[in-house]
Structure 1
């Protein structure tokens, strides 16, 4: 089944456990339009991955159950997904582990200034060095999220499109720093009032969780109402994600856009508890 674009897809009948469509282009405009329609891309890493997509889903395409979008020489090199249900988080509802929350409360309460009982203070002092920024090192976060990931989905083409969306203010990152070292981060695409989380990374335990919580706090301060975690699983559930039906998700996506601007300045991690 060939369709002319994302607006021609009938997501009410699409299977939530396989791609909604294959093909199309991966430029910044197409990418932003896809997110506005409740879809996100999963490019194939190579010819083998593309052939695997065709072998796995070619029958559904021929039966008209999965759409083909125009503009691609190899349509199976680019899949578009819209899971049903969708794991989502409210901006202020991102959970941090209790051990980290206790650690940050000690920082906020003034511990970690050299007083105390040794081991606990060393742990707190490390936390005291953490701070966050937003949209300061978007390219570095992309690179870190791509490192060692298999299968490779952050292809060069997708990264170029995301960098362009970042330059336009439509894609955002949060960076977690320990001193001058980037130790964690997250990035995603905002189609207000929803921000879709694409990927995260950590180089210290819990740094990715801190990045998501920080992005949620900043997005909420700007008037955003929903974080979309895209793929369900134990990790996003541990962050506080709950499943939302696709129909309700699309209704949220169509809500009145927020008018705020994502705060980008340097902020202490301890404020999150």
Structure 2
């Protein structure tokens, strides 16, 4: 029995696989993308026909058995895009970002500055450039730009004078901000962008940054594995209208002290 929905509305991912795709859907338009993030999933478009075929051959039995959702199955080729919702989910509590002592020392000496949403498009293209496989498709980039214009997607930029040297971007769902990607042109600039995003998000009432994929790098930034059930609970919480993220330009050196305090303090509770 194939489980399918015309949209992400009503899709429950709590009992889907934690180590593989939870859905297939060709629709990466802005409305579908935002709805998927609300449901707890994020996209991984197939970079080529071979990867698309691997999706179908590997997972068609699970789709037929109803263990993997088909969303908007009558529109386009669903196996072009797989959607993931890992269990556990690696998240970084906004008050517990860790920066290495070496980077903290560099921030105290350098004149880097940070900004919010000053050049979202350039950050997205910085994250896209040179990546193989290429998961940031043209359609996905267009949708992210539209979500940014609507106030859902945000970027942090790290500047060395007037030169962009790093950044991070993601989509905010109330108290959770799901980070899609980061890049750096200078060592430590990507981690600095994450620390700045966490600092601004905390001021706006945010709880966690969702790192999406577990890796040694995100663990070094202070990520902790959160059971998916609790992650989905964070997305579903009814909260007052969220405050906007502060957008003023800021010196990056301020992050050195805050990161040191987070690293040396007590474990941060995730609500």
TM-score of the two chains, using structure 2 as the length reference: 0.90
- Greater CA drift, 92-101 or 4-13: 4-13
Deviation at 1:143, TM superposition (A): 0.4
Alignment partner of 1:264 is 2:235: no
Q: Which runs of 4+ in 1 moved over 4 A?
A: none
Deviation at 1:246, TM superposition (A): 0.5
Q: Which residue of 2 aligns with 1:114?
A: none
CA offsets, 1:189-228, max 9 Å, x none? 0011100000000000000000000000001111111110
Give the secondary structure class of the aligned counterpart of 1:49: helix
Q: Distance in 1 between matches of 2:62 and 2:242?
A: 41
Q: Distance in 1 between matches of 2:178 and 2:68?
A: 23
Q: Which residue of 2 aligns with 1:89?
A: 92
Q: 2:115 aligns with which of 121, 128, 133?
A: 133
Give the secondary structure class of the aligned counterpart of 2:146: helix
Q: Which residue of 2 aligns with 1:115?
A: none
- Greater CA drift, 259-268 or 182-191: 259-268
Deviation at 1:75, TM superposition (A): 0.8
**Structure showing greater Rg:** 1
Give the secondary structure class of the aligned counterpart of 1:262: coil
Alignment partner of 1:44 is 2:27: no
Alignment partner of 1:245 is 2:246: no
Q: Over the residues paired in the alignment, what is the CA RMSD in angstroms?
A: 1.3
Q: 1:155 aligns with which of 137, 151, 154?
A: 137
Q: Distance in 2 between matches of 1:169 and 1:10?
A: 25
Deviation at 1:86, TM superposition (A): 0.2
- Greater CA drift, 46-55 or 194-203: 46-55
| Structure 1 stretches lacking a partner, 5+ long | 108-123
Give the secondary structure class of the aligned counterpart of 2:4: coil
Deviation at 1:173, TM superposition (A): 0.1
Q: Which residue of 1 aligns with 2:200?
A: 218
Alignment partner of 1:175 is 2:151: no
Give the secondary structure class of the aligned counterpart of 1:205: coil
TM-score of the two chains, using structure 1 as the length reference: 0.89
Alignment partner of 1:100 is 2:103: yes
1:222 touches 1:258 (CA, 8 Å); kept in 2? no
Q: Distance in 2 between matches of 1:72 and 1:208?
A: 37
Deviation at 1:24, TM superposition (A): 4.5
1:172 touches 1:187 (CA, 8 Å); kept in 2? yes
Q: Which residue of 2 aligns with 1:56?
A: 58
Q: Distance in 2 between matches of 1:249 and 1:159?
A: 25
Q: Distance in 2 between matches of 1:258 and 1:41?
A: 26
Q: Which residue of 2 aligns with 1:12?
A: 14
| Structure 2 stretches lacking a partner, 5+ long | 258-271
1:88 touches 1:242 (CA, 8 Å); kept in 2? yes
- Greater CA drift, 189-198 or 47-56: 47-56
What count of residue pairs does the alignment treat as equivalent?
252
Q: Distance in 2 between matches of 1:266 and 1:103?
A: 19
Deviation at 1:46, TM superposition (A): 2.1
CA offsets, 1:87-114, max 9 Å, x none? 001112111111121333xx3xxxxxxx
1:193 touches 1:257 (CA, 8 Å); kept in 2? no
Q: 2:24 aligns with which of 22, 25, 40?
A: 22
Q: Which residue of 1 aligns with 2:71?
A: 69
2:26 touches 2:76 (CA, 8 Å); kept in 1? no
Give the secondary structure class of the aligned counterpart of 2:75: coil
